[in-house]
Structure 1
């Protein structure tokens, strides 16, 4: 299977690695890349960058074929801390450059002017191919864009059929910023939605596969966490599923607003 992409060329499906550590993380990454995945997402906060890097190396997939993304936690976003923190991530991953570097949360030491200037320095040095953010509202994203000479190519947020992020999706589409969805199957809650079950049964698919297809067909990249080969493969096979207009309309009009990741420091 060719690797489907969203409009900016980012692989539409990636492997999320939150709470996947040690040898299991290495095995999951290696399995996914050998299966055909070309997008791997991690973060300094996940404490698994070394294991993810080991999985990339073990897969023997050429480095230039893999989009590797990591994130800097909010206590490493002061202007003087960004570059050393990013270099530490690179060292743990065993890589010379990152395809995507995200601001994980716009909190604590984050300052739009200082933080984005440092991210731009990494971009100018060739250590980071693309600057990105995570958990930003439209307003926060606009401010970050104002302070970044390098384009902000992605905003990674919780997004799934039960939290469709209409306002943010519209803003990102207008600005040419790719939305990357974490928790894309709502931590399993999509299995309990009758409308998704109807669509899944119609296509002999699972509700998780329907959710991933819905995201892809709305030009949203998804990074579902999966550890075992069976789940990694099931997510991969979601790319063969094509929802029709009736399916999309049924999901688009669910009208649910069920946010799962909602820390007290979030801006929404």
Structure 2
């Protein structure tokens, strides 16, 4: 009888932990990172107007509380310019169902008419891409940065880390979570907006995250503190986390005045 009760208790604990893990996993946000590519000032104005007056207000009305809108710093000199839009969702069902809600939103259709009904030879972009992301389990929700300066001076840093293999990629994800890299960013006040795994995109296996700073000098000072930190030196020297990134990209962004982040 004692053995039976012990086995029963073990099964109950295992089931509880399984249910708890499942519940926790469901709370992880999904993100659509939409990247508009454009070449002209008229296209930039069209995207700006659409986002500010039509899409973002409509997303707010339909349950998306915060939306990020960012322009690449490199746009000043780039021939093909980029506009980034971050849309968080509580579930994949919310993400896949949002377009139907927008199609039935009369205010959205009216406010976005110029963008929605643009002629084939006056398209408001040259092309756009959508990257589907899933928040890290130890950073399950996005956060608004605690910054005080004007948005026009802020630097947001979007980083992409590709792994050489799927196994090594998962070790890098582990390094952020159980390894303590997220905690280090928090301790050093990097004001991260999100940390995530790319689950659908053109470059995989891959993770992406965004940190934010008052300006470029503030950004450089934070990364200097990061590289000098004793915990980082210990963590980055661990054999299990060696060679987990085969390619990294850094994109500097400015938030628009109407961005929620």
Pair member with larger Rg: 2
Give 1 or 2: higher strand fraction: 2
Q: Per chain length, whose mean CA-contact separation is higher, i.e. which structure has more relative contact order (CA < 8 Å, sep 6+)?
A: 2
TM-score grouping bracket, smaller chain normalisation: under 0.3
TM-score (norm 2): 0.27
TM-score by length of 1: 0.27
